[in-house]
């Protein structure tokens, strides 16, 4: 998976980025915010590992910890954070929790974001009938 020559963005990474915007939105507040792997919630760890392979999406630097130990520190490239912000602004927020997707369980609905456990009734959804 290489970067698209016109945009310099790995398209596979862009798909991972945009399919999990709630995770990234919960993790950081903007492109200048740094995070470490241990900051990523357990439900999003496998997704983060996939995304961390794309240098066109994430900046990565090494920091010293307690003298001899080091760890990786990540931040979103500003252009990628712009894509997250655009996706958040343009998506439909059907759930009362503010996330975009939901699952039907027959007599109730749940938010489809793994980091959210809200349940709600059909009349609480913001869906045009």
The pLDDT tens digits for 57-97 are 999 999 988 877 889 999 999 989 999 999 999 988 788 88
Same structural domain, 16 and 32: yes
Same structural domain, 44 and 106: no
The pLDDT score that the predictor gives to residue 4 is 45
Is residue 5's pLDDT more than 50?
A: no
Range of the domain at 123: 92-129
Same structural domain, 82 and 98: no
Same structural domain, 85 and 96: no
In a domain, 1, yes or no: no
SS (H, E, C) the chain: CCECCCCCCEHHHHHHHHHCHHHHHHHCCCCCCCEEHHHCCHHHHHHHHHHCCCCCCEEEEEEEECCCEEEEEEEECHHHHHHHHHHHHHCCCCCCCCCCCEEECCCCEEECCCCCCCEECHHHCCCCC
In this structure, of 6-10, 63-67, 111-115, the range with the lowest mean pLDDT score is: 6-10
pLDDT band at 3 (very low <50, low <70, confident <90, very high): very low
The total of structural domains in the chain comes to: 2
In a domain, 2, yes or no: no
């Amino acid at each position: 998976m290489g970067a698209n020559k016109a945009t310099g963005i790995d398209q596979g990474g862009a798909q991972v980025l945009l399919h999990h915007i709630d995770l990234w939105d919960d993790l950081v507040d903007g492109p200048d915010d740094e995070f470490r792997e241990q900051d990523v919630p357990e439900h999003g760890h496998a997704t983060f590992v996939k995304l961390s392979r794309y240098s066109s999406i994430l900046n990565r630097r090494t920091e010293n910890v307690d003298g001899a130990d080091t760890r990786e520190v990540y931040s979103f490239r500003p252009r990628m954070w712009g894509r997250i912000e655009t996706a958040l602004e343009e998506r439909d927020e059907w759930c009362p929790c503010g996330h975009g997707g939901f699952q039907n369980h027959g007599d109730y609905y749940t938010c489809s974001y793994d980091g959210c456990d809200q349940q709600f009734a059909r009349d609480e959804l913001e869906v045009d009938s």
